[in-house]
Structure 1
């Protein structure tokens, strides 16, 4: 059977949304139209990890983000990501990151230290609610959000400049937590017509901390550094572990939306 990207992306989206519980073979077969065994093979070939390993990693990565972004208790976070007791959560977390959840929370500044070291935080941040937007998107694994891989994806989706009314980047992972080889980037565009090879999805629909990068996209990390420096220095809001959205207004202006904890 020929691998169908839309089917693959559909089941991956389902696994990501339901990362905090066991996904049954019946669910995967009914959504993907593949046998569970065949889909396991395809999934491992694409991502170099098993479905259960992928889910476990998502649970722990989301837990790590909650630990550093929010003030939720350890037991609340354990329950939110699918662990029914703090002991099993702490054991799995320490095995993955070599520190306990409590230690990870205390060491929040250390996680960002090298990334933002000696960086001047001069950035205007505003709190803004963004209405939901329907988009067509495609995700890739972009090692450490490598610009070259992202450029190739955009040339595939939008070979001619400004073909679509609006374009967005979906930053699904936190590269200071997620292994660089597993970082996922989604290119998303708005369209009134179905776009072959892309999956329809919805972005925004909540409150964000918005800031703007001005200049070439290859320098965007400097703006992220400014944001984290500002946030760690005492911004009075909590972040969420959901997707960060980049809105591409022009080649030199990118608005960045960090989801706020609700």
Structure 2
């Protein structure tokens, strides 16, 4: 879509939906935000996002519920209320339609997986388990310029293309320098979200004195201050899966911390253009309470 007005209004709408997806957002609120009729902005949203506004809202709610079921002991009724369902029966029906199983079965399946992991290592000295070392750090507010990639996290070429687009844009805006910090924001869990809808933000940390107007699908936002468990991965981006597997497999056995309901952040320390893949360093920040 080449019309910048349409694109800007789509971006405003997407920001509204992402910030308030747990709430009921009226048609009037949407029209007041984008200065279009709901019918017209829904057509634009569908063309750019491959799903309607209503479906997007519902999907985000149910995927967030699935995260809570997977990572917390929160009662199902409380989860339903938290994501905007006043009746647990309505929530259960919607959840089953989306995930092809009830909330209870979904939670039990993940608890079963965890029990298998626990059983397999029950007689092993947990002090000998190869868990990546980590430190606890609190990151301040991070103001970033970013471009969102939608798709499978394993599609490294597509993600690299997103980074190339962001870098070209940043060069045109004259905001890149030798101390520029590059980071990625991982917003979805591939076990819950269909790969075509998984979101990854390629981002550049902005200096305090930088003020630019964004165009197209480029955006600026602030990632709020958050506490993290920081891990170090050495090697190619493709091989980071192994590090993540070690982190999450042994989280329950050796890492006595509770996950926070925030995206994971990766900081890319090396310049890929002059660093061998096996020498690349990625700092992985897992949000914790």
TM-score by length of 2: 0.80
CA contact (8 A) 1:145 1:185 kept: no
**Residues 227, 176 of structure 1: alpha-carbon distance in 2 compared, 3 angstrom cutoff:** same
**Residues 231, 195 of structure 1: alpha-carbon distance in 2 compared, 3 angstrom cutoff:** farther
- Which stretch of structure 1 is more off in the superposition, 77-86 or 21-30? 21-30
- Asked if residue 249 in structure 1 is aligned to residue 269 in structure 2, the reply is yes
| Cα separation, 1, equivalents of 2:130 and 2:56 | 35
Match of 1:193 in 2: 211
Question: How much is the aligned-residue C-alpha RMSD, in angstroms?
Answer: 2.6
- Asked if residue 211 in structure 1 is aligned to residue 231 in structure 2, the reply is yes
| Cα separation, 2, equivalents of 1:85 and 1:73 | 14
Q: Point out which structure has higher relative CO (alpha carbons under 8 A, 6+ apart).
A: 1
- Asked if residue 165 in structure 1 is aligned to residue 180 in structure 2, the reply is yes
Match of 2:126 in 1: none
1:169-189 CA-to-partner distances (Å, cap 9, x unmatched) read 111111111001111111111
Gaps of 5+ in 1: none
- Which stretch of structure 1 is more off in the superposition, 245-254 or 180-189? 245-254
TM-score by length of 1: 0.87
Secondary structure at 2:238's aligned position in 1?
helix
Secondary structure at 1:158's aligned position in 2?
helix
2:137 counterpart (125, 128, 146): 128
1:183 counterpart (191, 195, 198): 198
**Residues 202, 36 of structure 1: alpha-carbon distance in 2 compared, 3 angstrom cutoff:** same
CA contact (8 A) 1:130 1:206 kept: yes
Match of 1:227 in 2: 247
Secondary structure at 1:107's aligned position in 2?
helix
Q: Which has the larger radius of gyration?
A: 2
Match of 1:36 in 2: 38
Secondary structure at 1:194's aligned position in 2?
coil
- Asked if residue 152 in structure 1 is aligned to residue 166 in structure 2, the reply is no
CA contact (8 A) 1:29 1:36 kept: yes
CA contact (8 A) 1:139 1:187 kept: yes
**Residues 121, 182 of structure 1: alpha-carbon distance in 2 compared, 3 angstrom cutoff:** farther
| Cα separation, 2, equivalents of 1:137 and 1:9 | 13
